[in-house]
Structure 1
Amino acid sequence: MSQPRWTRLSDIRRQLERRWQKGDLLRAGEQPDDTFPLRLVLNKPTAGGLLEHFHDARRWATHWQNAAGQDLVPEWRTVNHRQLGRNTLPVAVVIPTLDAALRQIGRRDDARRYQTLAADIIRRFPLLAHWCRRKPLKVLALEAQWPALLATLEWMAQHPRPGLYIRQLEIPGVHTKFIEGNRGLLGELLDQLLPEEAIDRDATGARRFEQRYGFRRRPSRLRLRLLDSAHRLAGLDDIEIPVEQFAALRLSVSRVYIVENDITALAFPPTPSALVIFGQGYGIGHQLADAHWLKDKEVLYWGDIDTHGLRILSQLRNTLPHSRSLLMDTATLTDHRHLWGTEPSPYTGELPNLTADEQTVYYLLGTLEPGRHLRLEQEHIKFSAL
C-alpha cells in the first residue's frame, strides 16, 4: 500500500523556497504588502483516507504538533467520522512574518545582504529602484561585481556618449575587460539611468553596445582581391580596409564576386575588370550597405549550398537586389551528390528574395533525403566548375 501524500513540513519549505526563487520574499521585505501572515493550505486525509490510513494519519498529525512553534502555527479542525469518531487534524499552517518564512528556509542572511546591496544601489542611483525590485535575485547574485558596476555607471552618468573606445576608459578599480564582458548587464542598467538622448534605441543587443551608448567601435573591415592587374591599388592586389573606406573607393571594375570560403577567394583566377570580396556570413549585406557604387556593378554571390548560405544570399539582396548567385543552383547540387553532408542546425523560415531555381534548391535541401537537411559546402565544389 502506497504511503499517503499529505503535506509535511518539508513540502511547506519547498513552497517557501519557490517563493524565494521567484523573488517574492525579497520583494516583500523591501516593499511590505499583505503577504504575511501567510496561510498555506495542507493536503490532508479525506474521510476515506482517514479510515484506510488511520495510524498514518495519527503520525502525520503528531508530525505537525512537533513542527508547531513561533515561526509556524498549524490550524486545527475537528472532524466527525461515522466510524472513527471525533478527530482533530491540521488543515493549514500560518507563517506569521517574513522573518519566520526566511528562518524556515535558512535565507535570513541572504535577505539581509540583499537589503544592504539594494539600499546602496538605490541611494546612489534612485532610478534603479524598480530594476532592483524586479530582479532581486540578480542583485544578490552580482554581489561581488557591484563595486565595479556602480563605478562604471557613475562614470557613464557623468560622461554620456563619450566617443571613446572602451579600452580607453580609466575608471579606478574597473578593468576594461570587465565592461566588455558585461555589456548585456550594463545595457540593462544604463537603459534605466541615462537620458533618452544618450541612447541610440535602434542599436539593440550586446554586440551593438558601443553604438547604443556612444562609444567608438573597432571599425569593421573587408578583405578583397583585385583580379585584374590594371586595377591594383598602389601595386597591391590583396588588401584589407575599413568598411567605411571600401564604401568610398568607387573602383572602376565592372564585376564583383562575394565568396565565403577564404581559400576559394585566394584561388580565384585572374579576371578582367573584377574583384573578389572575402565574405563574412550574415554581416556582408550590412557591411556593403553604404557602398552605393556597387549598385552599378555586376555582383555575384557564392556561398555554401545550405539553408544558411541561401539565407545570406536572400539578405544580401535587401542591400543589393540585383546580385546573382554563382554555383548555388539545382544542377550544382545534384552534380555533387557524392559530397553532400548534413546541416546541423538548418534554417526553416521564409526566404523571400530567392529566384525560382534557388527556392527549388532550398526546398530540395530538406526533402531529397528524408530525415536530414543536406548541405554542399563551397570548398567541396570542383574548382573547374568556376
Structure 2
Amino acid sequence: MKSVAPSAVVDKARTTYRNRRGRWIADPDAAASASVTVALHPPSETAVAADPDAAVAWVRTWHGYAGHGTVAWETRRWRSFGTQDVPVRVVLSGAAEIAAAAGRAAEWRTLTDRRQRLLAELGPGTAGLAAAVAATHSRWLGLDDTDFGRLVATVRWLAANPSSGLLVRQLPIPGVDTKWLAQHRGTVESVLEGVCGDRDLGVRALPRLCEVAVLDRTLLPAAPRIFATSLGELAALPLRPTVTVVLENKEGVHA
C-alpha cells in the first residue's frame, strides 16, 4: 500500500467535517469527543530497499509536518536497515481541530457562537429548541450578522407575543418587514416551534381582495361600478341581488 502524504489529512478532515457537522451542532458532547485517525501506511522493509531515497524523503516530510493533529511514531526493526522510527498515523481530536484541518475553523466558530446565542437568548435548556437549531443550522449559518440578529430578535418577540394579530409591517422589530419575513419565514417558523412548540407566527395577513362589478347600478348607486374588497366586507354590504355571476378571471369582470 502506498504511503500517505500530508494532503490526505486535509481530505479526510473535509469529508468528516461535511458529514458530521450537523450532528456536532446537535450534540456538543459528540463534537468534543470526535476524532479522526488517518493511517499513514509507512513503507515496508522491501519498499525501502526498492527505493530508499523516496522512503527517506517521505519520513522527512512527516518530521516537518506543521499541520493539525498529532503524528504518532513507531519503531521498526529491519534486518537490512536497523532500527528506524516511522510515522504511522495522524490523529485529529475534537470538532474544532477537525474543522481547522479541513480549512473550516472560522465557519465552525461561527456555528458554535451562533448556536450558543440562540439557546441563551431564546430558551436555555430547551430540548426542542436545541433540535430546531441543529436542524436549521445550514440556513442560519448562511445569514450575515445583521440578518442573524434579526432572526433572533424576531423569534424572541414572536414567542413573547404569540397572538399579536399585527400585520408583518407593524412588528416592532428593526429591519423586519414583509419582504424579509417572506424570505426567512421557514427558518423563523422552525426555530419558533423549537421555542414554544408552535409554528404559528400569530400575525395577520392582508385580506384577499375580490373584484366586484355592480351590473345593476340601482343596487349600489353611490359605489363605483367595479371595485375590489374582501369577502367579509362584501358580505356586510346592503346587497341582496337576485342573480350573482361568478367569473374566474378579471377580464370577464371588466367585460
TM-score (norm: length of structure 1): 0.49
Letter in 1 for 2:211: R
Cα deviation, residue 219, structure 1: 0.7
Letter in 2 for 1:9: P
Partner of 1:359: none
Question: What is the rounded CA distance, in whole Å, between the counterparts of 1:159 and 1:216 in structure 2?
Answer: 13
Cα deviation, residue 107, structure 1: 4.2
Question: What is the rounded CA distance, in whole Å, between the counterparts of 2:184 and 2:243 in structure 1?
Answer: 44
Question: What is the rounded CA distance, in whole Å, between the counterparts of 1:107 and 1:35 in structure 2?
Answer: 18
Matched-pair identity in %: 20
**Match of 2:38, SS?**
strand
User: Cα deviation per residue 1:125-156 (whole Å; 9 max; x = unaligned)?
Assistant: 22322333445454544361333222222221
Partner of 1:217: 205
Is contact 2:31-2:95 (8 Å) kept?
A: no
Tell me: CA distance 1:55–1:25, structure 2 relative to 1, closer, same or farther (3 Å). Answer: farther
Letter in 2 for 1:252: T
Tell me: CA distance 1:195–1:185, structure 2 relative to 1, closer, same or farther (3 Å). Answer: closer
Is contact 2:210-2:229 (8 Å) kept?
A: yes
Question: What is the rounded CA distance, in whole Å, between the counterparts of 1:161 and 1:129 in structure 2?
Answer: 24
**Match of 1:182, SS?**
helix
Question: What is the rounded CA distance, in whole Å, between the counterparts of 1:18 and 1:223 in structure 2?
Answer: 57
Letter in 2 for 1:129: A
Partner of 2:132: 131
Cα deviation, residue 58, structure 1: 5.2
Tell me: CA distance 1:9–1:28, structure 2 relative to 1, closer, same or farther (3 Å). Answer: farther
Is contact 1:231-1:253 (8 Å) kept?
A: no
TM-score (norm: length of structure 2): 0.68
Partner of 1:66: 64
**Match of 2:203, SS?**
coil
Map of 1:199-348 to 2, 5 A cutoff? 199=199, 212-225=200-213, 229-230=215-216, 233-234=219-220, 236-245=224-233, 251-253=241-243, 256-259=246-249, 262-263=250-251, 265=252, 268=255
Cα deviation, residue 195, structure 1: 4.5
Question: What is the rounded CA distance, in whole Å, between the counterparts of 2:244 and 2:64 in structure 1?
Answer: 89
Question: What is the rounded CA distance, in whole Å, between the counterparts of 1:141 and 1:188 in structure 2?
Answer: 16
Q: Which runs of 5+ in 1 are unaligned?
A: 200-211, 269-386
Partner of 2:148: 146
Is contact 2:72-2:90 (8 Å) kept?
A: yes
Asked whether 1:19 is paired with 2:16, we answer yes
Question: What is the rounded CA distance, in whole Å, between the counterparts of 1:159 and 1:111 in structure 2?
Answer: 33
Question: What is the rounded CA distance, in whole Å, between the counterparts of 1:120 and 1:28 in structure 2?
Answer: 14
Tell me: CA distance 1:6–1:72, structure 2 relative to 1, closer, same or farther (3 Å). Answer: same
Cα deviation, residue 217, structure 1: 1.1
Select the structure with the greater relative contact order (CA < 8 A; seq sep ≥ 6): 2
**Match of 2:64, SS?**
helix
Residue in structure 1 matching 2:29, options 31, 40, 55: 31
Paired residues in the alignment total 244
Tell me: CA distance 1:36–1:266, structure 2 relative to 1, closer, same or farther (3 Å). Answer: closer
User: Cα deviation per residue 1:17-69 (whole Å; 9 max; x = unaligned)?
Assistant: 33333416954993246844431234777999889877656544443333277
Cα deviation, residue 253, structure 1: 2.7
Partner of 1:41: 39
Question: What is the rounded CA distance, in whole Å, between the counterparts of 2:55 and 2:217 in structure 1?
Answer: 93
Is contact 1:19-1:25 (8 Å) kept?
A: no
Tell me: CA distance 1:61–1:240, structure 2 relative to 1, closer, same or farther (3 Å). Answer: same
Q: Which runs of 5+ in 2 are unaligned?
A: none
Asked whether 1:176 is paired with 2:182, we answer no
Tell me: CA distance 1:61–1:138, structure 2 relative to 1, closer, same or farther (3 Å). Answer: farther
**Match of 1:258, SS?**
coil
Cα RMSD for the two superposed structures: 4.4
